[in-house]
Amino acid sequence: MFSPKLFCMSGSSFLFLKSIKCILSSSCHGQNTISNTQLAAQYISKPQKQLCETVLKHFDRQYSEELGEQWWNARDVLLNPLSWQYGVLLNRFSDLTNLKQCLAELGYTNLLQQTHPESHSQTADIPLQCFIHPDPVRIPTQSHHTGWLKQYYLLNAASLLPVLALNVQEGENVLDLCAAPGGKSLAILQTATPGLLHCNEVDQHRHDWLLKTLESYVPPSLRHLLSVTLQDGRSIGTMQPGAYDKVLVDAPCSNDRSWLYTPDTHRGEMWLKERTQLPLLQKELLCSALAAVRPGGIVVYSTCTMSRAENQSVVEEVLASYPGVELQEMEQQFIDSLSDHFCFAHLHPSVGQLVIPQKGKTWGPMYVSQLKKIY
């Protein structure tokens, strides 16, 4: 038996979400608007983010040139954290009794609508389920308790795009090259049961965070399918050439959302200097991933920045220098199915998809590019 203090959805969904329903009472009665007062109440106990003007000025110069008018719309969202939306990724390994019904009563809908980028049918079966709300509301996170599996993971819903592009099938060997904090690894496990999921992270603190995430969501009966390592991802391709069917490179990047709120000006200036070194690291990681995947396998490269130097330019340089690799286009049908929720940037040339935050569609930034290793 679990301790009474632990939350179990069986028979207690209503109690768990009672306070949230009070905040969202208008949604429960068919209205989809929430007052600013109600929104502010959700964040009143949280410290306010401190904007770093140095980083903002740098972003204004760079992104106004690269994205034009779309940057100024994205800028409005990034400067207003109270407008940010949150996705609820369900954990299929936990007890979800009544959870989907409660989310629906609160105004949440399933983002994916059972579509898949590699399917010609709009009714393809996708175990992965992520619920989103039209308003910037956030249900509570669940605490970690040994021996109990959390039921959901809160995330930026656009971060599921790399996992969907990876299109993991049952029994495939998968490498998540830069896995912490673990949201995408968890999402991979929601889509299919791999033969092996190798989760790697080079930073000790983030590696420990990754382990705790997996412990919180994955049942002991499946943990033999997981390999969690603390290695420099740039070396894995050399050590394990052709060992994987699919590889995800969710590369370290200049995270636009967090960098705007750098704690102090000195730190912001230091990060902007480091930013110029990131493309080299990203290219090395992508090349390692291509070495680690088998011929015919897929590598997905992703970041959470809008920077052309870290996105399109990295992919273009790798395509030009790494033989036997082809760029894959994500199905337009799949992109269209998500366009009601995500705003896709107009990239020229098109070497991937970029989701940028916009009013009412605050998901992203998230860049995704899919590569196939021919030989």
Three-state helix/strand/coil letters over 11-31: CCHHHHHHHHHHHCHHHHCCC
Distant-in-sequence contacts of 119-122, Cβ < 8 A, 24+ apart: 122/333, 122/337
Closest CA to 107 of 210, 29, 186, 187: 29
Bond before 365 cis per omega within 30 degrees: yes
Decide: 368 and 298 in contact? Cβ < 8 Å.
no
Cα 367 from Cα 279, distance rounded (Å): 14
Alpha helices of 174-277 — where are they, by DSSP H?
183-191, 204-217, 233-239, 256-259, 265-275
Catalytic sites, residue numbers: 304
For β-strands 173-176 and 196-200, DSSP reports them as parallel
Q: Who's near 68: CB < 8 A, 6+ residues apart? A: none
- Yes or no: say if 201 and 178 are a contact pair by the CB < 8 Å rule: yes
Q: φ and ψ at 39, to 5 degrees?
A: -60, -45
- The pair of structure tokens assigned to 159 is 């971060």
Strand 109-110: give its sheet, edge to edge.
109-110, 130-132, 87-90, 152-155
Tell me which amino acid residue 279 is.
P
| Distance in angstroms (rounded) separating the CA atoms of residues 186 and 209 | 13
Question: At 104, phi and psi to the nearest 5?
Answer: -60, -40
